A and B are shown apart, each in its own frame.
Chain A
Amino acid sequence: ETGVTQTPRHLVMGMTNKKSLKCEQHLGHNAMYWYKQSAKKPLELMFVYNFKEQTENNSVPSRFSPECPNSSHLFLHLHTLQPEDSALYLCASSPGGREHYEQYFGPGTRLTVT
């Protein structure tokens, strides 16, 4: 595997379900990000992890819970979601430290909440 991978690519879940999105980067980076991309809206940064520590949470509702066990893996745990949470969720990574800016993206998980 190369680059940034995300699983699953597509997910349909009910509002009472609990599911998790997984992201893995094979680039040796130290920073990882979750973004939400909704139709007709700018890309929204959700969470930032730098060297496994969460450094940013952009007022994301608690029904989204991130986890970063190491610099290569990032999870987004989902529970009691709302239909408006349906979107493409993108994971990205960057070298971190002084080089946060050059981000590499995964293919995304298309989430549909029914």
Chain B
Amino acid sequence: AQSVTQLGSHVSVSEGALVLLRCNYSSSVPPYLFWYVQYPNQGLQLLLKYTSAATLVKGINGFEAEFKKSETSFHLTKPSAHMSDAAEYFCAVSYFLGTSYGKLTFGQGTILTVHP
């Protein structure tokens, strides 16, 4: 069975500080991993994805994430937070087996607050 855990339901940083949002996954087969962002009153937007290519993945808005198999982690980082980064972030896991489809399993979300 696959699952994903986001450590910390709320993260608060100062503008310009490092952003680190944590995600650990559990999967019996090699996973595909995703980060989505949700701004207030909007749907989810794909930030970045890992699909078994490079382990360091760069996404939109300056975010990146590193797939670490030994730690079963896929943490999201950004070197310098902007006020506009304030949103809720979701980690999701999926896998593809033969011809079966890869249903996304989402974490519970982390709300990022950025202080001036």
On A, residues with C-beta under 8 Å from B are 4, 6, 31, 42-43, 45, 48, 50, 55-56, 90, 92, 96-98, 100-108, 110
B95 surroundings in chain A (CB, below 8 A): 101
A42–B106 CB distance below 8 A: yes
Q: Is B108 an interface residue (CB 8 A)?
A: yes
B96–A101 CB distance below 8 A: yes
On B, residues with C-beta under 8 Å from A are 32, 34, 36, 41-46, 49, 51, 90, 94-96, 99, 101-104, 106-109
Cross-chain pair count, CB within 8 angstroms: 58
* Known interface pairs A42-B109, A43-B90, A98-B99; A105-B45 also in contact (CB < 8 Å): yes
B42 surroundings in chain A (CB, below 8 A): 107-108
Q: State in angstroms the CA–CA spacing of A108 and B36 once bound together.
A: 15
A100 surroundings in chain B (CB, below 8 A): 94, 96, 101-103
Interface centre among B94, B101, B102, B103 (most CB of A within 10 A): B101
A-B contact pairs, 21 of them (CB 8 A): A31-B101, A43-B90, A43-B109, A45-B103, A45-B104, A48-B103, A56-B103, A92-B43, A92-B44, A96-B101, A98-B99, A98-B101, A100-B101, A101-B94, A101-B104, A102-B34, A103-B104, A104-B46, A105-B45, A106-B43, A110-B41
Q: State in angstroms the CA–CA spacing of A56 and B109 once bound together.
A: 23
B43–A90 CB distance below 8 A: yes
B104 surroundings in chain A (CB, below 8 A): 45, 101, 103
